[in-house]
Amino acid sequence: QVRENLTVETLPIRIEGREVKRLRNKEIPSVKVIWGGPAGEYATWELENKMRESYPELVA
């Protein structure tokens, strides 16, 4: 459904992968999220802690 400001809501469907980027003294965990909506599915890499806060049911 298209909103008044011409945007379409997409929701995460599943987590497909995990990756930890290592910097000199820091580790950044990220997850590959499959998003779905009226336009179909697509994947993006997102920060794991951000996804855990927003969608705790997806990140175990």
Output the six-digit token pair for 60: 């175990």
Domain count across the chain: 1
- pLDDT confidence of residue 39: 76
Is residue 44 included in any domain, yes or no? yes
Is residue 18 included in any domain, yes or no? yes
- pLDDT confidence of residue 2: 62
Strands (E), 11-57: 11-22, 27-37, 40-47
The whole model's pTM is what?
A: 0.78
Helix (H, G, I), strand (E, B) or coil at 22: strand
- pLDDT confidence of residue 40: 86
Is residue 15 included in any domain, yes or no? yes
Is residue 32 included in any domain, yes or no? yes
Is residue 23 included in any domain, yes or no? yes
Is residue 4 included in any domain, yes or no? no
pLDDT per residue of the chain (60 residues) written in tens, 0 to 9: 666 787 778 899 999 999 999 999 999 999 999 999 877 899 999 999 999 999 999 887
- pLDDT confidence of residue 12: 94
